[in-house]
Amino acid sequence: MSAINDGSPILISGATATGKTTFLNHMLTLIDQNSRVITVEDAREVRVPQENRVHFVLSRTEQTNDFNYARLLDLVVRMTPDVIIGGEISTDNASVLWEMLGTGHEHFYTTIHAESAEAAYAAFADRILHTQPAYDRGELIAEMKKKIRVVQLSRDGSLRAVTEVV
């Protein structure tokens, strides 16, 4: 709860069907109802209870216009949101989400598929490196560890639980 209250950026990590989006949706219920929330997703999954919200959807499969992640970054920064939800990290959006995290906005939340917190940092870095190969992987991971907390979720049958917080 303190990470939510203090605005710490959070990367929610877990394998498929561990409850990452469900966990994120619950986190949003803990945020001030008067907050300005922006979501950036490739498919609408996040349920935002705050009335002051804007949803951006950039499909991974259907690009019919010139609106892209670079343009979205400029737009989001100008909108001065209180909360940015990055949706699921992919190769297409990883570097832009990393840039959004560095804009000084608090309450930045996103999800990633990984089996541990350490693997989550590595997966995020690797996705960034697909489009920004000039980064040094080790330095990037070290910077991530300073900037973003990882909440690791796991599943055992029907039981889903937080198994690690870094």
For residue 135, give the CATH number of its domain.
3.40.50.300
Closest alpha carbon to 12 in 111, 135, 97: 111
Range of the domain at 34: 2-165
- Joined together, the tokens standing for residue 65 give 């216009």
Q: What percent of the chain has pLDDT over 70?
A: 92
**Residue 62's pLDDT band (cuts 50, 70, 90):** low
pLDDT tens track for 10-38: 999 999 999 999 999 999 999 999 999 98
* 128-158 per-position pLDDT tens digit: 999 999 999 999 999 999 999 999 999 998 8
pLDDT mean over 157-161: 90
pLDDT tier at 79 (50, 70, 90 boundaries)? confident
27 with 47: CB under 8 angstroms?
no
Query: How many distinct structural domains can be found in the chain?
Result: 1
Q: What percent helix, strand, coil does the chain show, rounded to 5?
A: 35, 25, 40
pLDDT in the model for residue 64: 62
